[in-house]
């Protein structure tokens, strides 16, 4: 039985493959499919317009449909919220699946209307806009298109990000996903030493600059070099509970970077200051308060930074491998 008002001027149900509509008024019955932002001619298997996302996917044909994999992929309209589900195989391979798309509805001010000329009172004029931007999530965490593409393997990350990705995936395969409670130390050291190994010189300033770059990569308030990809991998696979999350990696890394840059005393002072601030916030109901595990991560970072500084002073360069 046909659904009323869903078949227009045809005797057949006109909503078919992937829910697209046969627009029979254009080129005759069944000869034009409406994909909202472009039309498709099923007789020749071609779209009448370029994919609106073509510039963001240069490796595809501008007329490709669903990246030529209609079993696993959807053809996106180009301006929605994309929610991805990420898993990892026993071999440490990342699997990304688009779980759903959602229209983004924004209410924006487009002007003002005078409601009292004498008092010069104006009221805003609002307009509802649908799908004027894109947003992305990976396992319900906010992400970017670049992060999604790096996790999918369709974009090449920076060398340091790639090294961090490879380490997490290899560790997952080796341990079956059972990461150590002290993985923040292991991973933090690895990232710093990968940076040190790419230095052209051996001076103190070279080490400081490298440590700063590694911290800027990991810092989730910055992500200047797209470290968000590492954040998503770490939080989804290395984290076991609230005591082993990405924040412990941040405490270790920040303390190590400050120690290498400004010395252990300054690093310890700032670490204590931050915990006091967190303690006060916790007292007034904002935040988790003082955390001894944060302080332990700080101390671990300071100790690591001190060993790096000693290596610089003695000229052994043991961390530049």
The pLDDT of residue 95: 95
State pLDDT tens for residues 291-305: 788 899 999 999 999
The pLDDT of residue 18: 57
pLDDT band at 33 (very low <50, low <70, confident <90, very high): confident
| Helix (H), strand (E) at residue 125 | strand 121-130
Give the Cα separation of 157 and 150 in Å (integer). 6
State pLDDT tens for residues 63-113: 666 666 665 555 655 556 788 999 999 999 999 998 887 766 666 666 667
Give the Cα separation of 217 and 210 in Å (integer). 11
Q: What is the arithmetic mean of pLDDT over 24-43?
A: 70
Three-state DSSP class for 298? helix
Three-state DSSP class for 109? strand
The alpha carbon of residue 222 and the mean position of all alpha carbons in its chain are separated, in whole angstroms, by: 13
Q: What is the arithmetic mean of pLDDT over 15-38?
A: 66
> How many other C-beta atoms can be found within 10 angstroms of the C-beta atom of residue 212?
15
The pLDDT of residue 265: 95
The pLDDT of residue 6: 46
Give the Cα separation of 246 and 219 in Å (integer). 10
Token couple for 48: 């009448």
| Helix (H), strand (E) at residue 301 | helix 292-314
- Which has the higher per-residue pLDDT, 19 or 207? 207
The pLDDT of residue 48: 72
pLDDT band at 1 (very low <50, low <70, confident <90, very high): very low
State pLDDT tens for residues 242-287: 888 899 999 999 999 999 999 999 999 988 887 777 666 665 665 5
Q: What is the arithmetic mean of pLDDT over 157-165?
A: 95
Residue 321 has pLDDT above 90, yes or no: no
- Which has the higher per-residue pLDDT, 209 or 20? 209
Give me the percent of the chain exceeding a pLDDT of 70.
65
pTM of the model: 0.68
Q: What is the arithmetic mean of pLDDT over 115-122?
A: 67
Average model confidence (pLDDT) across the chain: 80
Residue 224 has pLDDT above 50, yes or no: no
Lowest model confidence (mean pLDDT) among 54-58, 97-101, 174-178, 277-281 = 54-58
The pLDDT of residue 267: 92
Q: What is the arithmetic mean of pLDDT over 106-131?
A: 67
């Amino acid at each position: 039985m046909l659904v009323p008002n869903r078949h227009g001027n045809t005797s057949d149900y006109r909503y078919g493959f992937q829910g697209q509509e046969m627009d029979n008024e254009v080129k005759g019955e069944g000869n034009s499919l409406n994909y909202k932002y472009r039309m498709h001619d099923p007789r020749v298997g071609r779209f009448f317009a370029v994919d609106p996302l073509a510039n963001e996917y240069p490796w595809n044909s501008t007329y490709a449909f669903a990246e030529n994999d209609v079993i696993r992929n959807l053809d996106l309209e180009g301006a929605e919220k994309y929610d991805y589900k990420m898993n990892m195989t026993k071999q440490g391979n990342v699997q990304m699946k688009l779980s759903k798309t959602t229209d983004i509805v924004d209410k924006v001010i487009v002007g003002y209307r005078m409601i009292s000329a004498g008092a010069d009172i104006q009221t805003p004029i609002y307009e509802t806009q649908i799908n004027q931007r894109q947003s992305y999530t990976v396992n319900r965490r906010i992400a970017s298109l670049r992060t999604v593409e790096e996790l999918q393997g369709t974009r090449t990350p920076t060398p340091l990000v790639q090294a961090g990705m490879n380490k997490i995936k290899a560790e997952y395969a080796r341990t079956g996903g059972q990461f150590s409670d002290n993985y923040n130390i292991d991973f933090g050291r690895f990232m710093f030493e990968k940076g040190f190994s790419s230095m052209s010189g051996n001076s103190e300033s070279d080490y400081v600059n490298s440590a700063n770059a590694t911290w800027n990569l990991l810092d989730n308030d910055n992500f200047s070099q797209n470290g968000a990809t590492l954040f998503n991998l770490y939080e989804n696979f290395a984290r076991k509970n609230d005591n082993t999350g990405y924040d412990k990696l941040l405490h270790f890394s920040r303390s190590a970077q400050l120690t290498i840059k400004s010395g252990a005393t300054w690093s310890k002072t700032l670490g204590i200051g931050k915990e006091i601030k967190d303690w006060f916030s916790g007292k007034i109901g904002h935040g988790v308060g003082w955390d001894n595990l944060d302080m332990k991560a700080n101390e671990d970072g300071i100790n690591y930074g001190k060993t790096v500084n000693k290596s610089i002073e003695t000229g052994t360069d043991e961390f530049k491998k």
